[in-house]
């Protein structure tokens, strides 16, 4: 029997079968146990794979006890079977256990089912962050991020293409900025994913409760190619027709494409007599087409045409 104090991490250098008793929480990362996992007398189980019939774990070769806090299994961390007893919350990623996964006497099980596998193996992700109150900055990820533990924050910048994010645990925060399609998987509770305005959520799977995925609204100003002031300033003297765009206030759906949208702009025109960029006499003005973040890629060019420039001069 081995006496430990504090957190315990299984990283491949221990004889199996292993038994851990008296944990607070347990975090089981992807591809970390190549045998069976048997949970006994734990409270909540959050699992990315279904519970199977009782695992047949032999008497332990290594018995870990003492004044334990949290337990962690790293990828390729347990070469054999693991038994966990008398823990509070246990968080198990998809693909964490090669063998059987059993839970005897839990208070409640949150089970993802068989259809919630990530599109790519979390073992191939760029970065794995594990532990309590960890802080990490990640730039330009190629595949994804695994965040495992409690009260940790990972800030991802420069995300492009397709990126996957896997949260395992409780009270973690993942912040993603860039221009990318992000696949989100969560196993746990009270986690938050904060996605920037240019991020598309490709797939969002949650196993647990009180998790949130927030996508910041698209800034309407980013859709404006020519503001009213810019259009006016292009006219020095004379009668001219100018075209510009402005934010459409109090609009929830786009009149151009019919989609519900966060950012809606209106294309407007004004024909006036200008002196040094200031309209002195207005002959005609009005609104026209509407555009939003969904259809603005086909928005017409708001710059002055050659005919309009000749009319100005």
pLDDT tens string 277-298? 999 999 988 877 888 888 875 4
Q: Which of 113-117, 142-146, 199-203, 308-312 is the least confident region?
A: 308-312
Distance (Å, whole) CA 146 – CA 159: 15
Tens-digit pLDDT profile for residues 167-186: 999 999 999 999 999 999 99
| pLDDT band, residue 2 (cuts 50/70/90) | low
Mean pLDDT, range 118-134, rounded to an integer: 89
Confirm if 183 and 124 have CB atoms less than 8 A apart.
no
Residue 175: strand pairing partners: 155, 194
Reduced to 3 states (helix: H, G, I; strand: E, B; else coil), residue 229 is helix
Half-sphere exposure in the Cβ direction for 242 (13 Å, CA): 24
Phi–psi pair at 291, nearest 5 degrees: -140, 155
Q: What is the mean pLDDT of residues 14-32?
A: 93
Which residue shows structure tokens 């510009």? 244
Task: Provide the whole-model pTM.
Answer: 0.77
Choice between 95 and 37, residue whose per-residue pLDDT is larger: 37
Task: Report how far residue 118's alpha carbon sits from residue 144's, in angstroms, rounded to the nearest whole number.
Answer: 11
Contact 201, 213 (CB under 8 A): yes
The sign of the CA dihedral 43, 49, 51, 54 is negative
């Amino acid at each position: 029997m081995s006496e430990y104090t504090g957190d315990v991490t299984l990283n491949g250098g221990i004889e199996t079968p292993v038994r851990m008793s008296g944990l607070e929480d347990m975090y089981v990362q992807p591809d970390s146990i190549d045998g069976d996992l048997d949970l006994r007398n734990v409270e909540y189980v959050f699992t990315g794979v279904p519970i199977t019939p009782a695992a047949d774990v032999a008497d332990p070769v290594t018995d870990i006890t003492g004044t334990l806090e949290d337990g962690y299994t790293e990828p390729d961390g347990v070469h054999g079977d693991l038994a966990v007893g008398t823990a509070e919350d246990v968080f198990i990623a998809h693909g964490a256990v090669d063998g059987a996964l059993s839970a005897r006497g839990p208070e409640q099980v949150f089970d993802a089912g068989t259809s919630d596998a990530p599109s790519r193996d979390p073992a191939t992700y760029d970065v794995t962050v594990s532990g309590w109150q960890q802080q990490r900055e990640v730039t330009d990820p190629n595949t994804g991020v695994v965040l495992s533990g409690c009260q940790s924050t990972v800030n991802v910048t420069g995300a492009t293409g397709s990126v996957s994010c896997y949260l395992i645990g409780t009270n973690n925060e993942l912040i993603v900025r860039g221009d990318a399609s992000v696949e989100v998987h969560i196993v746990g509770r009270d986690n938050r994913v904060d996605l920037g305005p240019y991020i598309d959520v490709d797939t969002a799977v949650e196993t647990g409760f009180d998790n949130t995925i927030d996508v910041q609204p698209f800034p309407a100003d980013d859709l404006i190619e020519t503001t009213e002031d810019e259009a006016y300033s292009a006219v020095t003297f004379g009668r001219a027709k100018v075209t510009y765009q402005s934010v459409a206030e109090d609009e929830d759906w786009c009149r151009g494409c019919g989609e519900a949208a966060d950012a809606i702009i209106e294309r407007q025109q004004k024909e006036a007599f200008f002196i040094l960029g200031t309209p002195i006499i207005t002959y005609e003005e009005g609104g026209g087409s509407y555009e939003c973040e969904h259809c603005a890629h086909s928005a017409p060019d708001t710059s002055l045409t050659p005919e309009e420039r000749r009319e100005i001069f």
